[in-house]
Amino acid sequence: MKIKKLTEEHRPKAYALLRCAFPKSEYEAKLVQQLHEKDRQVLEWVCIHAGKAIAYIAFTNAYRDKEICGLHLAPMAVAPEFQKQGVGSELLRFALRQEIIKNQTLFVLGEPKYYQKFDFEPCCSPICPFDKNNAHFLSIRNTTSSDFIVGYEAEFKTAAKAGKTQQPKKAPKQSRGKGKRRR
């Protein structure tokens, strides 16, 4: 298994992985594809094994009004046949060590028990527009003390329309064995 920065040549493999990891949703693949098409800043890595993308992770800008206030970890996916083998954890640890990531405020909408293993903590502020009561919204290096609704790239909403799926209220539990939905 080799972790690489996602290149244009790996994009189709990443889209295929997202469709495989989230078989009942086009949202994640459409989201990443639209982020690429709109030339949004996306910090992303892929795990390649035997010529196939088996895991993917992305970070996009988080906003306070129009000012960048950190990064959102979303989406993250592991091919079903490689889940529960530590591949996603290894990829996340790798990403968290990268110079461009390691000093940033990070936000994730996901399963708290999973992300707390990586030092993410429950987040009261800012407020996540996709998670009532911030029950599944976590952060690292978050020093925000004032309330505001954290912003996402516009593609987080338009991908839902393009994929004809609704955005989930919260991430599914890690133990379900399906793709890990992250925003």
pLDDT band at 176 (very low <50, low <70, confident <90, very high): very low
Fold that domain 2-102+152-176 belongs to in CATH: Aminopeptidase (3.40.630)
Q: State pLDDT tens for residues 123-174.
A: 999 999 999 899 999 999 999 888 999 999 999 998 766 655 444 444 444 4
Backbone phi and psi for residue 66, each to the nearest 5 degrees, phi listed first: -105, 5
Q: Indicate the residue type of 130.
A: F
- 61: closest CA among 41, 35, 78? 41
Q: State pLDDT tens for residues 111-129.
A: 999 999 999 999 999 999 9
Q: State pLDDT tens for residues 59-101.
A: 999 999 999 999 999 999 999 999 999 999 999 999 999 999 9
pLDDT band at 175 (very low <50, low <70, confident <90, very high): very low
143 or 183: which leads in pLDDT:
143
Q: Which residues of 139-177 are buried (b: 16+ CB within 10 A; e: fewer)?
A: bbebebeeeeebbbbebbeebbeebebebbebbbebeee
